[in-house]
Amino acid sequence: MGQKVNPIANRLGYIRGWDSNWFSNASTFPDKLQEDEQIRNYLNARINKGGIARIVIERTLKRVTITIHTSRPGIIIGRGGGEVDRIKEELKKLTNKDVQINISEIRNADLDANIVAENIAKQIESRVNYRRAVKMSTGTTMRAGAEGIKVRVSGRLGGAEMARTEEFKEGKTPLHTFRSDIDYAIKEAQTVYGKIGVKVWICRGEVLVKRDLAPAPPAKDKKRNRGGSGGGTNRRKG
């Protein structure tokens, strides 16, 4: 099972928290879920060079709180905070609610699967040989302290006539061990020969103590809807 299921979804509630934290009744759940997807798509397109690793969305009755985990907070904040204010105003129009944006800096971007996969995809788009791009990224990740990394690229590699899949691995990536902190990401590189898929698994060690998976303390205007449907969804398709 560990080889087939998304490793992030497989660890939800154990060592990994959800990327959407809110409650809703059955009638409004689809709309909120779709709005979360629109927010993430907008932010990833709007800040495509911001090194975004994760977007966590929390909702209260009147407010949407968005926490952006990034390796380049300066790009998102902008000079004097002007850029983040513009993003906030645009998201207010999208959600018709008050929006609060928190920026969380990633200390070691080389251990984040999203950023590593995005880096490999951008190098492939820049016509760097895919083997060179993968080996450079895997070496950097291992030197950063990872216990293991696995990268799988698929498509018309090197402009070949027939699509194929190649896998590169260093160290260990135990997908069946739930206490192993496995980060996972999928990215696509658009080339003149078509799309190249990039999948990255990174093992960051084992979590031997119980993690606090609860979201931030609720705001004053938050009201729980008893008997509603849970809004714990994960964006990684993770």
For residue range 121-149, list pLDDT tens digits in order: 999 999 999 999 999 999 999 999 999 99
Task: Give phi and psi for 69, each to the nearest 5.
Answer: -90, 120
pLDDT above 70 coverage of the chain, percent: 87
34's tokens: 């779709």
Mean pLDDT (whole number) for 100-107: 92
185 to each of 51, 102, 146, 169, how far by Cα in Å?
A: 13, 22, 16, 15
Question: Has residue 235 got a pLDDT over 60?
Answer: no
Q: Which residue has the higher pLDDT, 17 or 211?
A: 17
236 close to 185: Cβ distance less than 8 angstroms: yes
Alpha carbons 22 and 214: distance in angstroms, whole number: 11
Q: Nearest CA to 127 among 187, 198, 197, 192? A: 192
pLDDT level of residue 221 (50, 70, 90 thresholds): very low
Q: For the chain, which domains are there?
A: 9-107+212-230 (3.30.300.20), 109-206 (3.30.1140.32)
Euclidean distance between the first and the last CA atom of the chain, given in angstroms as a whole number: 17
SS3 147: coil
Average pLDDT, the chain: 87
pLDDT of residue 27: 92
**pLDDT reported for residue 223:** 44
The helix (run of H) or strand (run of E) holding residue 155 is strand 148-155
Higher pLDDT, 197 or 235: 197
According to the model, what pLDDT value does residue 238 have?
41
When mean pLDDT is compared across 5-19, 85-99, 188-202, 204-218, the lowest value belongs to: 204-218
